[in-house]
């Protein structure tokens, strides 16, 4: 059974990584998907994979930090597929790993504009369409935001990232309470360390900066996950698909932690 059959999803940062895999899993399960991203070439690869598998998807070039582009992305989706039933707020950046005293205000604000403002704007602008269609589904509308285990715990040289992901976690709870009467569910997903392009982005610099380089970093991270491996994109995409589906109809305002046991220690 296709668990999101007939629903319409917007996935920010959907060109690759967790967003790209989530787009594929939702499309496989019957959703019509609009991928938004600034990486058009990579988005086309994901679109081709979805269409080859018999799914339906479109691309919209989109900077999540710009409100007018969110308005345009929602308008494009409504015109393409009739409305919005699922929003996956996935777009995000890690930012530079720097001590607090060396972190510039511009860097702080850029990270917040994507990781936190982008989630707020996505929620704000999909709500009217979701409200108009929530009655169509047993589980109503579903907003899912990708946070992180770093939304629970702190990390040195990661103040901005932790603050943004903690903000996503609590904004999710506030929105869930507010939107419950409208039959819109709001949940956050908290990945551990996942083998994505975002994780691998600093590989070259790390190889130059420290003994053992990137592989030592990966080995250390793996050792902190009781299941003994990095997560894969599909591990998070499966959780997203569940929260998007009516199987999770009684879940709202909660955190779904997919971290290989990291936070259990």
Residues with catalytic roles: 161
Residues 6+ away with beta carbon under 8 Å from 171: 116, 119, 120, 123, 145
Q: How far is CA 246 from CA 47, 67, 111, 243, in A?
A: 25, 29, 33, 8
CA distances 144 to 138, 139, 203, 251, Å, are 17, 13, 29, 11
Q: Which of 25, 179, 186, 191 is nearest to 92 (CA)?
A: 191
Cβ neighbours of residue 202 closer than 8 Å, sequence gap 6 or more: 94, 97, 214
Q: What would the two tokens of residue 263 be?
A: 């936070």
Residue 253 carries which DSSP code?
Answer: S
Question: What value does the CA radius of gyration of the chain take, rounded to a whole number of Å?
Answer: 18
**Using CA atoms, how far apart are residues 162 and 182, in angstroms rounded to an integer?**
30
Q: What is the rounded CA–CA span in Å between residue 21 and residue 35?
A: 11
């Amino acid at each position: 059974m296709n668990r999101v059959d007939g629903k319409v999803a917007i996935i920010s940062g959907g060109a690759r990584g967790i967003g790209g895999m989530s787009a594929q899993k939702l499309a496989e399960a019957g959703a019509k998907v609009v991928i938004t991203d600034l990486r058009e070439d990579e988005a086309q690869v994901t679109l081709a994979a979805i269409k080859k598998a018999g799914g339906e998807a479109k691309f919209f070039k989109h900077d999540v930090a710009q409100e007018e582009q969110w308005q345009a992305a929602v308008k494009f989706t409504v015109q393409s597929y009739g409305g919005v039933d699922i929003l996956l707020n996935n777009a995000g950046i890690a930012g530079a790993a720097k001590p607090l005293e060396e972190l510039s205000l511009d860097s702080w604000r850029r990270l917040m504009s994507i990781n936190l403002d982008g989630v707020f704007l996505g929620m704000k602008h999909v709500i009217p369409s979701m409200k108009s269609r929530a009655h169509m589904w047993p589980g109503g509308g579903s907003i899912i935001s990708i946070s992180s285990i770093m939304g629970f715990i702190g990390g040195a040289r990661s103040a901005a990232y932790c603050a943004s992901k903690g903000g996503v976690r609590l904004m999710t709870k506030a929105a869930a309470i507010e939107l419950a009467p409208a039959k819109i569910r709001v949940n956050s997903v908290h990945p551990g360390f996942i083998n994505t392009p975002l994780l691998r982005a600093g590989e070259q610099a790390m190889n130059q900066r420290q003994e053992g380089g990137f592989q030592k970093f990966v080995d250390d991270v793996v050792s902190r996950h009781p299941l003994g491996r990095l997560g894969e994109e599909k591990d998070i995409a499966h959780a997203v698909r569940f929260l998007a589906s009516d199987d999770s109809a009684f879940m709202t305002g909660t955190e779904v932690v997919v971290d290989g046991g990291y936070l259990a220690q």
